Amino acid sequence: MSEQNTYLPYLMTIEKVIKEAPGVKTYRLKFQDEAEAEAFEFKAGQFGEYSAFGEGESTFCIASSPTRKGYIECTFRDTGRVTSGLASLEEGSTMGFRGPYGNVFPMEEWKGKNLLFIAGGIALPPMRCVIWNALDLRENFKDITIIYGAKTVNDLVYKSELKEWSDRPDVKMVTTVDPGGENADWKGEIGFVPTIVEKVAPSAENTIAIVCGPPIMIKFTFPVLEKLGFKDDQIYTTLENRMKCGVGKCGRCNVGKLYICKDGPVFSKEELNLIPAEEY
Amino acid sequence: METKYISQSGIEQWFDAIVTSGKRVFAPVNSRGQVDFKPVKKLSEVADEYIQTTQSIKASVYPKAEVLFSYEKVNGKVNLTDFDPESVPETVLWKVHPCDAAGFKPLSAIFNWDTTDKLHNAHLAKTSVISFSCSAADESCFCTSVNGSPGNTAGSDIQLTMLPDGGAIVEILSPKGEALVALSPSVFVADKGEKKEKYLVDLPVRFNLEEVNAKLNKAFNSTVWKEQSERCLGCGACAFVCPTCACFDIQEDAHGSKGRRIRCWDACGFALFTLHTSGHNPREHQSQRWRQRILHKFFYMPERLSVVGCTGCGRCSRACPVDMNILEHITSIAKQ
Amino acid sequence: MSSNTDFEPKIIAFVCNWCTYAGADLTGTSRLKYATNVKIVRFPCTGRIDFLLLLKSFAQGADGVIVSGCHPNDCHYTSGNFHARRRWIAFRSVLDLMGVDIRRIQYSWVSAAEGSKWADLVNNTVADIRALGPYAEYQKVADYLEKEGYNEEA
Amino acid sequence: MKKLRERAAELLSQGVVSLVLGYEEGTKRPRPLFCRNSVNAEKLIFDSRCIHNLAVYITKKELVGKERFAVTAPISTLRSIMQLFVENQLNEEKLLVLTVDLNGELREFTTFDEIAAYVAQFELKRGEREQELLSKIEGMTREERWKFWMEEMSHCFKCYACRSACPLCYCSKCVVEVNRPQWINPWPAPLANMEWHINRAMHMVGRCTACGACGDACPIGIPIDLITRKMMEDMAPEFGYIPGQPAKQGNALSTWKLDDREQFIR
């Protein structure tokens, strides 16, 4: 068999478009080629390069769970040339996908532990993949707590799923919006994510904390977790540096001697301590 | 490996035979006041008196801009046309310096360390390298400090060492080299027992690579980066003339319903190279970008890919508009 | 040139909304006949026409370009056309130095009342470009990625 | 040179300036020196080989800092500094300009007017190289010029050394980095390269002072400085300015005159 061209994307059909929040959409993608669909496998935490033909490629995580077969989902915000190109596509149209790339959340190692998910804004998608993965294999884990915050009520993504999670008896769900971001019907918390984490004060005992969000949120959440007794090997996050190739060659996501696209995007805080913080 | 002798007229004959075989031949040509690799048909076109070409031969196996694939949108569907390795012509690189040929190893290490790179490998497979050992060097050259030498045969299929009589010692180093010899077998005669080393330039080792590596291991937070990089303008000249720099960008060339995805050279020295869409830039200052360049070549690559990302060709020092001299900077780091 | 008799020039016209576009409109409503080779792109003002658009037109297959707006002192925005004129002066100088064929760019002032001037402008430009032939020299290089392509065919 | 070193050391030790931007001996020719203490002032040199345009650094806040600083400037750099003043990029209170005049005397300037008065003595002329190349190009037919530049442009690999070396290219985001729309194809290719250089020239209309830094910086020797130089020469009579003598009369493309030439407009 001749050598594969890494840069040649899979062709995907947009099966479903969900408007999540202003400028934020989720696409459900199906492989156009059945053999490719059959052979495709990924794990929670991995990402891909999504193509809008005519505009280019953009990097986002796979937001659906590997336990849900037959499709993948991505959630993105319309911010640049590629994402606006993607956002203008309709159900039934074709886009490209390369992947899966990067490392995975060590879900096998987490069996029998409590899981604490802390997410902010548009960083819920990478975590959604893990959350559904965990919920679909619910018996593998003990308590599951989700703390999710966004700027305003409008900016919360996966609104129907947030409800589904909070309705489940086996999940503790806390949603919050930044002060001033609430509306008249808001019943959740009001406050920045780190503050709410401190308030909810989950136990560090036998718990893994997965933190995803803007750098500023992560920066202020880590000390809170530390105060709650979390050790560095109990805290996980994902990094999102600028990427072009996704396979450790183009040089953009090089941090220290690591490539975020190959050695990440998933890092435990213990691993993060080994690479220079100013470079991510 | 086999060593032969070729006479001056033999070289001419052989060169003509290579051209006649239909292979594309690139050799250093002096034009516009610069010596650079260009397609040539006659040996007389090849430049003589020069120390180094301005650009490396990197472009022959990693073009400045290359089509990764092309696409066409038809009735809401997309048809892809893959890169065709057969579209790459058989190429012979003539009169390559050993430091350039040695650059293929780090370059391929980057392109193939995990997933393999179909395009790079296609170019590599179709390229034969005839290197000439160096009888001269200048103050920017330092191959001997980075595991190379003026007679280094790494990356070459054939190496010629020119002799005073106009002929050359021919080292045939690979099957590709043998195939080139086979184009004109009669001009290659028995080796005359000349020692190659006698004709190589003497280039003292300027720094100890392991020492540099050990220093760099602890240098991330050093003030040296800011001190050295103050005058750096943040252009990509050093990266683009470098035989091993491989950072690239992927871009779209769209024309209505048709288009192609293009990979083109990029440089870690550019201010916007690492800029996130959010506006956050992990390497905001030139000093951070300069650090990245040096650490990547002399620390990360040896650690990760077991190959140093520098062949000592000195091109970056020669090309830099503000005299960011890599040898000077590395030597000063080694002394720290 | 007789060889060019079959050649139908492709011409792109960048015009301002207030004068020339209205003028071209008048040409039509006046039932004046003129060459059909021109594709009109309407801009708010000549001052808003980026010089690169002219080059992009050539790269994408135009053989000639018309740029037209309000007469001096008639600009809807007071001075847009004066700024544009300065830009064109500089642009012509740069293009001429680079060897771009500036005969293929025709600048004009056509007011909303000058329906017949627009027809003449288009007809004359088409005739000029027809005489010059296709701008293959420029279009040829538009797709080249590597210089080898350029050298081999040159 | 001795006077320059002494003065620089004095300025630094007395705390008048926090930085003297000057030249030191480099490995092949003089190079920029960021002199931040009086000891380093010993390294300063200033002679006819010092051609790098240091004005390129003086708009970079991360380099020059918030304090007052001095810059050593030959005539070409002085012209750039004047243009930067015209464009409101410099603060007279923060800048001290040092130069050595034809008699070897050290001169100090603190204002635009002082520099302008000094620079007015020097007419901007084509050097030997520019004269030779430009008359060669001017003697070509249009088709020859196109071939000449396409050949030159085909060598460009878009390292943007021209942009980086130019004191007047101080935009934090360049037009080539704009991708909505993608004005200029970002990869190196003959036409994309030419579009870039035409763009650069157009952004220099009435601003370029012909310091030659872009051409000097080009690692592959494309005489790109001639493009902006020729345009400056052509435009000076059109727009009524003296080449190499920036005046605070507004940017050429942001002003206009009723009688700007228009023979080419039908």
The domain limits of chain B are 1-53+82-205, 206-336
Torsions phi, psi of C53, nearest 5? -60, -35
Which residue, C122, C143, C98, C103, is CA-closest to C28? C122
Across chain A, mean pLDDT equals 92
Contact check, Cβ <8 Å, B69/A256 = no
**Averaged pLDDT for residues B228-249:** 96
Residues of A in contact with B276 (CB under 8 A): 240-242
pLDDT above 50 (res C2): no
Question: pLDDT tens digits, residue range B241-281?
Answer: 999 999 999 999 998 899 999 999 999 999 999 998 888 89
Residues 6+ positions from C32 with CB-CB distance below 8 Å = C115, C116, C119
Per-residue confidence (pLDDT) for residue B25, from 0 to 100: 96
Residues of B in contact with D152 (CB under 8 A): 32
Contact check, Cβ <8 Å, B266/A53 = no
Task: Give the residue on B whose Cα is nearest the Cα of C151.
Answer: B39
Rg (alpha carbons) of chain D, rounded to whole number: 20
pLDDT above 60 (res C152): no
The neighbours of chain A, by the rule of 3 or more Cβ pairs under 8 Å, are: B, D
Q: Give me the residue from B220, B247, B268 closest to A276, CB to CB.
A: B220
Q: Give me the residue from A7, A241, A248 closest to B282, CB to CB.
A: A241
Q: Is D179 part of the contact surface with chain A (CB cutoff 8 Å)?
A: yes
Residues 6+ positions from B185 with CB-CB distance below 8 Å = none
Per-residue confidence (pLDDT) for residue C147, from 0 to 100: 52
Residues of D in contact with A81 (CB under 8 A): 179-180, 182
Q: Quickly list DSSP for D178-217.
A: -BTTB-S-SS--HHHHHHHHHHHHHTTTTT-----HHHHH
Q: How far is CA B139 from CA A213, B132, B203, B325, in A?
A: 51, 19, 10, 10
Which residue, B207, B202, B209, is CA-closest to B151? B202
* Strands B24-31 and B91-96, bridge-based pairing: parallel
Across chain C, mean pLDDT equals 91
Provide the terminal-to-terminal Cα distance of chain B, rounded to the nearest Å: 42
The 10 Å CB-count burial string (b at 16+, else e) for A198-226 is bebebebeebbbbbbbeeebbebbbebbe
Task: Give the residue on D whose Cα is nearest the Cα of C122.
Answer: D266
Distance CA D212, CA D26 (A): 20
Band (pLDDT 50/70/90 cuts) for residue B175 is: very high
Question: pLDDT tens digits, residue range A92-142?
Answer: 999 999 989 999 999 999 999 999 999 998 889 989 999 999 999 999 999
- With respect to residue C3, please indicate whether it lies within any of the assigned structural domains: no
Q: Is D173 part of the contact surface with chain A (CB cutoff 8 Å)?
A: no
- With respect to residue C43, please indicate whether it lies within any of the assigned structural domains: yes
| Phi/psi-derived region of residue A191, left when phi > 0, alpha when psi is between -120 and 50, beta in every other case | left
> How many CB atoms are located within 10 Å of the residue B67 CB?
17
Distance CA D211, CA D229 (A): 9
The domain limits of chain D are 2-119, 128-239
Distance CA C18, CA B167 (A): 76
pLDDT above 90 (res D266): no
Q: Give me the residue from B65, B322, B325 closest to D32, CB to CB.
A: B322
Q: Are D86 and D247 in contact (CB under 8 A)?
A: yes
Domains of chain A, CATH where assigned: 10-101 (2.40.30.10), 114-238 (3.40.50.80)
- With respect to residue C39, please indicate whether it lies within any of the assigned structural domains: yes
Q: Which of B250, B298, B303 is the best substitution to test chain A (most A C-beta atoms within 10 A)?
A: B250
Secondary structure string (H, E, C) spanning chain B: CEEEEECHHHHHHHHHHHHHCCCEEEEEEEECCEEEEEECCCHHHECCCCCCCCCCCHHHCCCCEEEEEEEEEECCEEEEEECCHHHCCCEEEEEECHHHHHCHHHHHHHHHCCCCCHHHHHHHHCEEEEEECCCCCCCCCCHHHHCCCCCCCCCCCEEEEECCCCCEEEEECCHHHHHHHCCCHHHEEECCCCCHHHHCCCCCCCCCHHHHHHHHHCCCCCCHHHHHHCCCCCCCHHHHHCCCCCCEEEEEEEECCEEEEEEEECCCCCCCCCCCCCCCCCCCCHHHHHHHHHHHHHHHHHHHHCCCCCCCCCHHHHHCCCCCCHHHHHHHHHHC
Band (pLDDT 50/70/90 cuts) for residue C145 is: confident
Per-residue confidence (pLDDT) for residue C1, from 0 to 100: 45
> How many CB atoms are located within 10 Å of the residue C146 CB?
17
Torsions phi, psi of B274, nearest 5? -105, 10
For the full predicted model, state whether its pTM sits above 0.90. yes
Distance CA D196, CA D152 (A): 13
Per-residue confidence (pLDDT) for residue C150, from 0 to 100: 41
Could you check whether the bond before residue A265 is cis, i.e. omega within 30 degrees of 0? Answer: yes
**How big is the CA angle at A152 (ends A147 and A157), to the nearest 5 degrees?**
60
pLDDT above 80 (res C146): no
Question: pLDDT tens digits, residue range A136-182?
Answer: 999 999 999 999 999 999 999 999 999 999 999 999 999 999 999 89
**Averaged pLDDT for residues D25-30:** 93
Distance CA C19, CA B267 (A): 47
Q: Which two tokens stand for residue C150?
A: 């350029």
pLDDT above 90 (res C84): yes
Predicted ipTM beyond 0.95: no
Contact check, Cβ <8 Å, B36/D220 = yes
Q: What percent of chain D has pLDDT over 90?
A: 82
Question: pLDDT tens digits, residue range B25-38?
Answer: 999 999 988 999 99
Provide the terminal-to-terminal Cα distance of chain A, rounded to the nearest Å: 39
Torsions phi, psi of D223, nearest 5? -80, 60
Residues of D in contact with A80 (CB under 8 A): 179-180
**Averaged pLDDT for residues B110-129:** 95
3-state secondary structure at position D108: strand
**Averaged pLDDT for residues D145-161:** 94
Question: pLDDT tens digits, residue range D180-231?
Answer: 888 899 999 999 999 999 999 999 999 999 999 999 999 999 999 999 999 9
* Strands B34-39 and B24-31, bridge-based pairing: antiparallel
Q: Is B61 part of the contact surface with chain D (CB cutoff 8 Å)?
A: no
Secondary structure string (H, E, C) spanning chain A: CCCCCCCCCEEEEEEEEEEEECCEEEEEEEECCHHHHHHCCCCCCCEEEEEECCCEEEEEECCCCCCCCCCEEEEEECCCHHHHHHHCCCCCCEEEEEEEECCCCCCCCCCCCEEEEEEEHHHHHHHHHHHHHHHHCHHHCCCEEEEEEECCHHHCCCHHHHHHHHHCCCEEEEEEECCCCCCCCCCCEECCHHHHHHHHCCCCCCEEEEEECCHHHHHHHHHHHHHCCCCHHHEEEECCCCCCCCCCCCCCCEECCEEHHHHCCEEEHHHHCCCCHHHC
3-state secondary structure at position D70: strand
Across chain B, mean pLDDT equals 95
pLDDT above 80 (res C153): no
Contact check, Cβ <8 Å, D191/C145 = no
Alpha carbon A52 to its chain's center: 21
Q: Are B124 and B61 in contact (CB under 8 A)?
A: yes
Question: pLDDT tens digits, residue range B92-115?
Answer: 999 999 999 999 999 999 999 999
| Phi/psi-derived region of residue B155, left when phi > 0, alpha when psi is between -120 and 50, beta in every other case | left
Residues 6+ positions from A101 with CB-CB distance below 8 Å = A46, A47, A48, A49, A246, A247, A261, A262
Per-residue confidence (pLDDT) for residue C154, from 0 to 100: 31
Q: Are A177 and A190 in contact (CB under 8 A)?
A: yes
Range of C66's domain? Answer: 9-153
**How big is the CA angle at B277 (ends A94 and A75), to the nearest 5 degrees?**
40
3-state secondary structure at position D35: strand
> How many CB atoms are located within 10 Å of the residue D3 CB?
13
Task: Give the residue on A whose Cα is nearest the Cα of B111.
Answer: A249
Distance CA D108, CA A109 (A): 70
Q: What percent of chain B has pLDDT over 90?
A: 94
Contact check, Cβ <8 Å, B300/A257 = yes
Q: Are B132 and B163 in contact (CB under 8 A)?
A: no
Q: Is C146 part of the contact surface with chain B (CB cutoff 8 Å)?
A: yes
Q: What percent of chain A has pLDDT over 70?
A: 100
Q: How far is CA A279 from CA A253, B283, C129, in A?
A: 9, 6, 56
Q: Is D157 part of the contact surface with chain B (CB cutoff 8 Å)?
A: yes
Distance CA D79, CA D85 (A): 10
Q: Are B179 and B257 in contact (CB under 8 A)?
A: no
Q: Give me the residue from B251, B271, B319 closest to D219, CB to CB.
A: B319
Q: Are C49 and C67 in contact (CB under 8 A)?
A: yes
Contact check, Cβ <8 Å, C146/B39 = no
Q: Is D264 part of the contact surface with chain C (CB cutoff 8 Å)?
A: yes
Rg (alpha carbons) of chain A, rounded to whole number: 18
Question: pLDDT tens digits, residue range A195-217?
Answer: 999 998 889 999 999 999 988 89
**Averaged pLDDT for residues C70-88:** 95
Band (pLDDT 50/70/90 cuts) for residue D172 is: confident
Q: Which two tokens stand for residue D47?
A: 């002679």
Residues of B in contact with D188 (CB under 8 A): 64-65, 264-265
Provide the CATH number for the domain around residue C67.
Answer: 3.40.50
Q: Are A211 and A237 in contact (CB under 8 A)?
A: yes
B126 CB-contact burial (10 Å; exposed 0-12 / middle 13-18 / buried 19+): buried
